[in-house]
């Protein structure tokens, strides 16, 4: 097994191209708000020049959150520095920049899409958009998104991250050597967190007990069954990713452990199908409390969401989800 030559990610921060200037809350909600499960943040002190005269030696300490994320075979870090989103990656990985650009949806006019939502006639949606300006949908690898949400059944975000972390550490590929890991963020990164996820082909070769050893519980059976199906049907995932929404969802629903919510999550976060409207407990709460849909079943709520919010229902869903998690007790 080969892995990249050890190079500190600290070889230089650079501004992320584009005009995305998220607040710390919006960046956190985008990276760690239930779309993806392979981002970790560490708070590191940064010496910022004081408001005194130019050249003054006095400084003030400010905490900066450094986000370390992995998708596919890519490893990168993000931080907000003086309201500018910056990134860095291991030296010699020239493909990471374009991959990060695509992953963050940098080619999409998210402001225009948010403006196209029915916020003018929906006061609660307007409140959600105002609370999280610039929130966007990540474009993750389709197969990894499926794996992540197969782990999500009855689990919270932190537990899903733990399961995927164990799968990566035990069965994935190391992306950097252990040397100079402290240079990654200034406070240190656990080497176990710097592995890619195992491929579906690799998962198909594992006995189910090895999956259960990664704290997957009953989900191990579904992941094992899905992996074996995909191994026997090469190209199936790639074909599914590019089908129209309804056809792609129908195919996903044939996989072990995939229900309506998981299928919609995979299509929204892994295939960019903004018409998908995943319904979890937070969305059920939101639609019951803010739209009077108390007692409605998930399938009914999903139909309402797609009808009310239109072809961008998935983007609206993410705003509702973020607001309910942070402000739902108001």
Q: Do the domain assignments include residue 292? A: yes
Tell me if 130 is assigned to some domain.
Answer: yes
Mean pLDDT along residues 231-255: 98
Query: Span 127-137, mean pLDDT?
Result: 98
Distance CA 327, CA 123 (A): 15
pLDDT tens readout for residues 70-117: 999 999 999 999 889 999 988 667 889 999 999 999 999 999 999 999
Is 44 inside any structural domain? no
* Least confident stretch, 47-61, 135-149, 195-209, 290-304: 47-61
What confidence tens digit (pLDDT) does each residue in 181-219 have? Answer: 545 544 445 665 799 999 999 999 999 999 999 999 999
CB-count exposure of residue 289 (10 Å: 0-12, 13-18, 19+): middle
Query: Within a domain: residue 144?
Result: no
Question: Tens digits of per-residue pLDDT, 311-326?
Answer: 999 999 999 999 999 9
For residue 119, give its domain range.
108-134+277-330
Residue 292 sits in a domain of what CATH number?
1.10.1670.10
Query: Average of pLDDT values for 117-128?
Result: 99
Residue 10's SS3 state is helix
Domain count, the chain: 1
> Domain for residue 281, yes or no?
yes
What secondary structure letter does DSSP report for 80? E
Q: Is residue 152 part of a domain?
A: no
Specify if 285 maps to a domain.
yes
Q: Are 190 and 166 in contact, with CB atoms under 8 Å apart? A: no
pLDDT of residue 98: 94
Residue 243 buriedness (CB in 10 A; 0-12 / 13-18 / 19+) = middle
264 domain residue, yes or no: no
């Amino acid at each position: 097994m080969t892995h990249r030559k050890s190079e500190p990610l600290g070889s230089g921060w650079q501004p992320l191209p584009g005009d995305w200037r998220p607040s710390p809350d919006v960046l956190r909600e985008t990276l760690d708000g239930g779309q993806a499960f392979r981002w970790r943040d560490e708070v590191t002190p940064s010496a910022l020049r004081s408001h005194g005269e130019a050249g003054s030696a006095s400084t003030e300490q400010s905490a900066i959150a450094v986000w370390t994320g992995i998708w596919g075979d890519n490893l990168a870090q993000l931080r907000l520095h003086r309201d500018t989103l910056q990134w860095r990656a291991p030296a010699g990985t020239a493909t990471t920049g374009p991959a990060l650009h695509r992953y963050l949806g940098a080619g999409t006019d998210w402001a225009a899409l948010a403006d196209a939502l029915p916020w003018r006639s929906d006061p609660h949606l307007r409140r959600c958009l105002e609370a999280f300006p610039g929130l966007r949908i990540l474009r993750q690898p389709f197969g990894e998104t499926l794996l992540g949400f197969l782990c999500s059944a009855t689990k919270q975000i932190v537990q899903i991250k733990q399961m995927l972390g164990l799968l990566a550490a035990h069965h994935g590929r190391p992306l950097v050597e252990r040397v100079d890991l402290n240079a990654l963020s200034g406070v240190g990164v656990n080497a176990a967190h710097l592995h890619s996820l195992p491929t579906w082909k690799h998962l198909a070769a594992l006995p189910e007990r090895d999956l259960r050893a990664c704290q997957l519980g009953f989900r191990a059976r579904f992941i094992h069954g899905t992996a074996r199906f995909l191994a026997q049907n090469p190209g199936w995932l790639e074909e599914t990713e590019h089908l129209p929404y309804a056809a792609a969802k129908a195919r996903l629903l044939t996989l072990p452990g995939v229900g309506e919510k998981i299928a919609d999550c995979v299509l929204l976060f892994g295939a960019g199908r903004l018409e998908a409207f995943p319904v979890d407990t937070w969305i059920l709460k939101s639609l019951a409390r803010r739209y009077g849909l108390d007692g409605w079943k998930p399938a009914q709520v999903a139909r309402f969401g797609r009808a009310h919010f239109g072809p961008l229902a998935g983007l609206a869903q993410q705003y509702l989800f973020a607001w309910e998690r942070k402000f739902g007790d108001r």
